[in-house]
Structure 1
């Protein structure tokens, strides 16, 4: 019975260390890529609900969102999901919305604008 408790403690420590390492890795990626400075606050406030709730993102903000880059976008979403404030969110749903928002913005930016 004691070995089961020791095993449980080891598993908990391993999972905790893994979560801390993942957070540090995400923070390092964000810092190295200057992710937090690539989008203006108004567009961040549009993009966030589009991914973490329901909402839409304007063409202008889609442009900033795509300039942010896929690495920054994915890492910021992962870091947000690690935050205890968002523990009740379904990661599969959020990642799905994240991919959908990214693809929609990418298609919008890549599509030629209609000529007047």
Structure 2
């Protein structure tokens, strides 16, 4: 029975250290890449609402999100999920919405607009 308690304590310690290391890793990525300075507040709020609540993101803010970069985007989403305020959210659902938002914005930014195609043909 004592070995079960020791194993449980070691497991809890391992998981706690892993979470702390993940948090430090995300903070380090965010700091090293100046992630928090690459998007304007209105677009940060749009992206947040789109991923963590229910909403959409404008073309302009999609451009800012893609300009932020995938590394920053992922680190910021993961760090937000670590906040106790969001403990009731499903991490799998948020990560899926985050990836979907990223992919939609990337496709939008990478595809030329119909008016640009018209100029290319002419």
State the TM-score, normalized to the length of structure 1.
0.95
Matches within 5 A, 1:1-116: 1-115=1-115
Q: How far apart are 1:114 and its partner, in Å?
A: 2.1
Bigger Rg over Cα: 2
Question: Quick one: distance in 2 between partners of 1:36 and 1:85?
Answer: 19
SS of equivalent residue, structure 1 residue 54: coil
Q: Where in structure 2 are there 5+ consecutive unaligned residues?
A: none
Tell me, in whole angstroms, the C-alpha distance in 2 between the residues paired with 1:21 and 1:99.
23
Q: Distance in 1 between matches of 2:81 and 2:33?
A: 19
Q: Measure the CA separation in 1 of the matches of 2:64 and 2:103.
A: 14
Aligned mates of 2:102, 2:110 — CA distance in 1: 12
Calculate the TM-score normalised by the size of structure 2.
0.91
Distance 2:12 2:106 in 1: 40
Alpha-carbon shift at residue 47 of structure 1 (Å): 0.4
